[in-house]
Structure 1
C-alpha cells in the first residue's frame, strides 16, 4: 500500500491555492520531478498530503488509481478540491501564478525562467534515460562523461552572462522562481550538491544558486527535517 503523510499546517498559502493539495509520486527518496513540488510547497509554507508509491507496487496502481487520475498514467499527479493537475512543470507554473510569486515579475523574467527550465527539462530527460536503462552501469557513466558536463557548462555560462542572472543569486536575480527549484533539483538528483558541492567545483555560479536555495529558511528547515529523505 502507498504511504500517506500530512506535511505542515495550513497557512495563507493554502488559502491562495484553494486548499490542501495531495501529491501522488514515487517513494524515491527526495528526488525527481515530484520533489520540486514539495520544495515549492515547503518554501511557501503550504500544507500538503504526500502519497508515495514504491517502485514495486506502482505498476499495479498505474493501471488502476493513477489511470483514473491521469490517462497518460504519469506521475506526479496533484489532487486539489476535486481538480486533477498533471504535468509537473505546468503544475509548478500554475501554483506560481496562484501564489503571485516564483514566476518572475516582468515578462523578460518570466521568459528567462521558462527558458532555463526548458534547458533543465532536456537535461533531466537524458539523465532519466541513462539512469533507468537496463544497462545503466554503461549508460549512466557515459551520461556523466558527455551530456552532463555539456549542460553544466551551458547553465553556468547563462548564469554568469545573462543580464538578469549575473546579478544573482537566482536565475532572475534576487527573487527565486520555480526554475531555480527545478535547476536545484536536477543538481541534487545527479549528486552534485552533496559532499561540499564537489560536483560543482567548476561551476561557482551554479553553486551560488544551490547555496541560495538551500539557505532559504523554510527549505533549510525542510532539509534538516525527517521529511527530507536524501
Structure 2
C-alpha cells in the first residue's frame, strides 16, 4: 500500500542528524510522494506562529503537511504514517504492535544518551565507554528474534546506528545488527539515499 497524498516534511537544516530522518527514510522506502523542506533556525522562529495558526498544535518540528493538516511529533508521525501505509510497515497483531512500540521507546532512550554525548562534552567519555555498547547489546538481542534481519521499527534504529558512526564498521561483535544494516542498505528505494550518509559519529564532527 502507498499513500496517495503528497507529503511535505519540514525540519531544521542539519543534514541527517535530526529526529526527522526516520520519517524521511520511511517516506523514501515506501515510495511515498514527498518533499523535504529544511529550514534554518532563525527562519523557523519567524514562521512558527503562522504554522501554529494553521493547526500545528505544539509548534515544533519535525512536522508534515498531509491532506491540508499540519501534524507534528516524530514518533507519533511514524506510527500514523506506518498505519496508513499498512503491510510491512505495521504490526499484524497486538503483540507485533507492542514490539514496534518497544523498539521505538528504546531507540528514544538511546537517542537521548547520544544527544547528551553530542551536546555535552563531559558526558561523551561515559557514552563511548559504557552506554553505547549497552544499547548495542540490547538491540543485538532484539534483532536476533525470528532470525532477523528485521524487527519492526527499523528506520529509527538505522538512524541511531548512522549517528553513532557504525553503518560500515564497529559491529563485528554484533552480528545481528550487522546483518540488519546490510539488509536495510540493500533496500532498492534506500540504497542510493543512505549511501550519502557520513561515516563518522555525530559527536565526532
TM > 0.5 fold call: yes
**Scaled by the length of structure 1, what TM-score is found?**
0.77
- Name the SS for the 2:3 alignment partner: helix
Distance 1:26 1:156, change over 3 A: same
Distance 1:86 1:167, change over 3 A: same
- Residue segments in structure 1 that go unaligned for 5+ positions in a row: 1-11, 172-176
Match of 1:20 in 2: 6
Is this contact kept in 1: 2:63–2:72, CA < 8 A? yes
Separation in 2 of the partners of 1:191 and 1:56? 29
1:113 aligns with 2:93: no
Is this contact kept in 2: 1:23–1:48, CA < 8 A? yes
Distance 1:155 1:71, change over 3 A: same
1:217 aligns with 2:191: no
Deviation at 1:82, TM superposition (A): 1.4
Match of 2:146 in 1: 166
Match of 2:116 in 1: 129
**Scaled by the length of structure 2, what TM-score is found?**
0.85
Deviation at 1:121, TM superposition (A): 0.9
Separation in 1 of the partners of 2:45 and 2:128? 29
Is this contact kept in 1: 2:2–2:32, CA < 8 A? yes
- Residue segments in structure 2 that go unaligned for 5+ positions in a row: 199-205
Deviation at 1:61, TM superposition (A): 4.0
Distance 1:65 1:141, change over 3 A: farther
Distance 1:55 1:200, change over 3 A: farther
Deviation at 1:53, TM superposition (A): 1.4
Deviation at 1:223, TM superposition (A): 2.7
1:32 aligns with 2:18: yes
Q: What's the C-alpha RMSD, in Å, of the aligned pairs? A: 2.1
Is this contact kept in 1: 2:64–2:72, CA < 8 A? yes
Separation in 2 of the partners of 1:45 and 1:90? 20
